[in-house]
A and B are shown apart, each in its own frame.
Chain A
């Protein structure tokens, strides 16, 4: 089996010959553009953030897959929740996530985001990230190596190409569910409600 660069190259090219007749060409193009320019928010939570610099710099060079950093949430497509996530961090993550523009995706690294990991009985960390914000792709490991992170990104790109990655729509549709879970651990004062009411009707644009 091929390894390293060749394997990734093969994975990148794997969907070139896939059957796209069921999609309109506009959808196909839009998804293609989206998957080939993933801007990742420069934001690290927990220990997993240490694996991100090698992923994005020359050793593993994620930019050859169209993955690169973004400075602010408004410009970013993907937020990586890398590792354990305390309540205090969760508040910031929710706020950041809600500032990002659609379409937006969430990549969760490490066993801590999946089931709490080694902090499963800690008084100050969440156990399942998908209860609070929608997650597109989990990458397991403690910590996942840059290869695993790239693999996660490739899987995410595949989902984007197929139009399956739609977590932001899930968030909007099931907002009450997410908000309830957020309030359960953070108290009533989480963040401004996730809608445009305050902007459109509350003396903003009238």
Chain B
């Protein structure tokens, strides 16, 4: 099966991550052909997840389709790269109905368009007008600072790191003192024993 996929799709080596997990990277245009093949011919009938990773330095999104075989003994990760600007990839809803909500999520969080998915409305955000929040160019802290002002700390609050350092030093000192105390009676005992032997 691996040889067939390799020859037919001209991909690199299929990465066998574990006994039950393989990963293959294909181009955007042959992705659905490969998924069809896996589903129809090899029985990878479950779509676990569609995930997206934002590689902002390389300028692309890595879309990964995770498929599991019928008897649950093997999982295939099919990865493809799509451009970050005006990101677009065909919808998988024709093959898997459950892809609809996964694509809806990705559309909301990364702004990826899925032609063929008729239900790309907002999922968990409401009236969101800014950059999609999980794209890495979205500066969360700047956004928060713009909308909210933070509560000032209490008057008696302390620097956490300095306080932890101080407490740790105290603990260490106490431990050393205890060790000394423990050691000293032993020494005394030894000394006594020696003197007893002397007698």
Which residues of A does B touch, CB under 8 Å?
A: 87-88, 91, 114-116, 120-124, 126-128, 184-187, 189
Contacts and interface: CB of A to CB of B under 8 A. Distances in A.
Mostly helix, strand, loop or mixed at chain B's interface? loop
Contacts of B141: 121
Contacts of B125: 87-88, 124
Nearest to B131: A123
Mostly helix, strand, loop or mixed at chain A's interface? loop
B151 A114 contact: yes
Interface in B7-29: none
Interface residues of B, number: 15
A87 B133 CA distance: 14
A183 to B, nearest CB: 11
Contact of A124 (B133, B149, B151): B133
A123 B148 contact: no
Contacts of A114: 151
A185 B144 CA distance: 10
27 contacts: A87-B125, A88-B125, A88-B126, A91-B126, A114-B151, A115-B150, A116-B150, A120-B144, A120-B150, A121-B141, A121-B144, A122-B140, A123-B133, A123-B138, A123-B143, A123-B144, A124-B125, A124-B133, A126-B148, A127-B144, A127-B150, A127-B151, A128-B149, A184-B147, A186-B127, A187-B127, A189-B127
B126 A87 contact: yes
Nearest to B140: A123
B124 interface: yes
B138 to A, nearest CB: 7
A128 B127 contact: no
Nearest to B133: A123
Contacts of A184: 147
Nearest to B139: A123
Nearest to A114: B151
Contact of B144 (A88, A122, A189): A122
Nearest to B126: A88
Nearest to B145: A121
